[in-house]
Structure 1
């Protein structure tokens, strides 16, 4: 049965089918000629505070800093357009907001990380597309930080990408921001996408730009390394794999110490990365984090003409000019023989393809090479 939601000015909106859900909310289609969706949050910790948060974000939509973020086509941010309430004004009602439907111009970022989804939904994508997406994500985060916003729960599930590598973001209601004299703290975090200082921290510990910057480095690594999480792998000392977060806390990262973790031969080699980016990753995971602006500048330079090479054997394989031979052909020859580590989440929710995707013999070569 369709739901009816009412905005603060009394306008009614007919919500259609359920599109998806996350840790807090449920997203529905909206019966409207514009590309809109509605997010409903059934049980926020403090309903009154959540309504106030949404009202402030809606108001900020008209502020110069937000107008700058929302300029351009396609829109990069699914900003709250209006607060709504479904199910009536009583205790059974559910609060939420309307926002742009990112599916209108984008696809889930996970489609760029997963080989099967990439072939199905982004058949023209190459490593150059991933590099462009990484640069676009870094620019977006740098722009958000410059305007005083902290994402706090940066992860593949709230990111979107178009066929050209342009990146957008949703779930603005969980961000940390200031409105006048009031601070609205970040409220969420996701295993595998949390800076070390926030792992195990007391509830309510606020994120900051630096914690976003750590997760940005994780996501850039996944984009450029065929979905491989930088802290994937079984401990090199023979201990049991527990989680990405456990590896983060113990500094188990191949880029910091190649003996720290055990990965299968099918994992992309670290030397497929340009030296400039490799240095940024080591700084990010070693305690001296580059900012989002630092990443944006370096990644943009790596996208420049002359910095990429097309494989002679397969024109669909693209790699850095610093690599003398094609890493994707190497991986295709090796096949996919094992998973680097058990995923932190169920397979249908995880995004680390190397940790969760088991290729069939038919798919082994395709799953280890960028294909268009």
Structure 2
């Protein structure tokens, strides 16, 4: 493809294949011995503000609050390492962006945890315990970001990564909301199905807050623990047409918050596979914005469900894991109906 990017100091990188794209930009491989990729944003609403946003994030990487967030292995955040622009052409033709860590060297796309086929193909040893650990890792990461003054604003599977042990990473740092000195860089993005009800229909540019992040966190934790099922999935029980997740959000159509509000196929995981402690958090998160649990509350509750003695392994196979609160295996029930969310046999583990 022949694209080359250059930093302000004059260092150049040759870009290889395009490996991803989103609503704002494109991600390319980088020809480098280190695991790096480059994100380019062709048409930001305000190019000068975008360049300043990236430059401030690069500088903040050396500040104590960010150093702590970036500690540990593997790194949890694909933080901007250096601003770059495409080389050649006129100044108006050049595209801004940045170089960051390639999360693929340590993680799989987060969405691989949310479907049976992808789990089986890419994360074959994943169980419900893996989903719990991923939910806990995500809640802790989000809580750490909030504690340091960052708001993700557009938390979705598309900007998350996970591995087979349940560790979680995050990308698209350049879209976050944060303050640097006296300047606030607002979050702009929102994704249907992961937008808090108070932000749906709000004017463009309405800034997110930590509570809107906490709503998206609850949706993602539900998807992890319910084998990919969105908490606002379902056909309106009143006979109306299904329009979208956001329409269900606005009308409170949610099985956990109001079981009579939606119709779901029998093939979805039963609501009672959740421990009572988590069920109560979901009801608060999805039905009442004023009582929405924080990321720290989710982390505390999820850690408790991973404590010794809280999980049971089904006798049919090591990938059928469930809470001890349930007297029999929910995954076996689903498998008998032809939908095994965690397929496998004991001999495969040997």
TM bracket, shorter-chain basis: over 0.9
Distance in 1 of aligned mates of 2:342 and 2:237: 27
Match of 1:24 in 2: 24
Distance in 2 of aligned mates of 1:315 and 1:124: 9
Distance in 1 of aligned mates of 2:120 and 2:18: 26
- RMSD of aligned Cα (Å): 1.0
TM-superposed CA distance for 1:371, in Å, is: 4.2
Secondary structure in 1 matching 2:224: helix
CA contact under 8 A between 2:120 and 2:343: conserved in structure 1?
A: no
Question: How many residue pairs were aligned?
Answer: 342
Secondary structure in 2 matching 1:72: coil
Query: Following superposition, which runs of at least 4 residues in structure 1 exceed 6 angstroms of deviation?
Result: none
Distance in 2 of aligned mates of 1:23 and 1:116: 26
Equivalences for residues 135-150 of structure 1 within 5 A: 135-150=136-151
Match of 2:9 in 1: 9
Match of 1:356 in 2: none
Match of 1:301 in 2: 304
Match of 1:42 in 2: 42
Match of 2:201 in 1: 200
**Structure 1 residues 210-246: Cα deviation after superposition (integer angstroms, max 9, x where no partner):** 0000010000000000100000000010100000000
TM-superposed CA distance for 1:314, in Å, is: 2.3
Q: Could you state the TM-score of these two structures normalised by the residue count of structure 2?
A: 0.96
CA contact under 8 A between 1:78 and 1:171: conserved in structure 2?
A: yes
Higher relative contact order (CA 8 A, sep 6+): 1
**Structure 1, unaligned runs of 5 or more:** 336-364
**Structure 1 residues 79-129: Cα deviation after superposition (integer angstroms, max 9, x where no partner):** 000000014351110000000000010000101111111111100000000
Q: Could you state the TM-score of these two structures normalised by the residue count of structure 1?
A: 0.91
**Structure 2, unaligned runs of 5 or more:** 346-350
CA contact under 8 A between 1:54 and 1:80: conserved in structure 2?
A: yes
Distance in 2 of aligned mates of 1:177 and 1:250: 31
Equivalences for residues 284-295 of structure 1 within 5 A: 284-287=285-288, 288-295=291-298
CA contact under 8 A between 2:218 and 2:285: conserved in structure 1?
A: yes
Distance in 1 of aligned mates of 2:316 and 2:122: 24
CA contact under 8 A between 2:319 and 2:342: conserved in structure 1?
A: no
Distance in 1 of aligned mates of 2:188 and 2:279: 32
Match of 2:262 in 1: 261
Secondary structure in 2 matching 1:168: strand
**Structure 1 residues 188-225: Cα deviation after superposition (integer angstroms, max 9, x where no partner):** 11011100011010011000000000010000000000
Distance in 2 of aligned mates of 1:295 and 1:370: 28
Secondary structure in 2 matching 1:85: strand
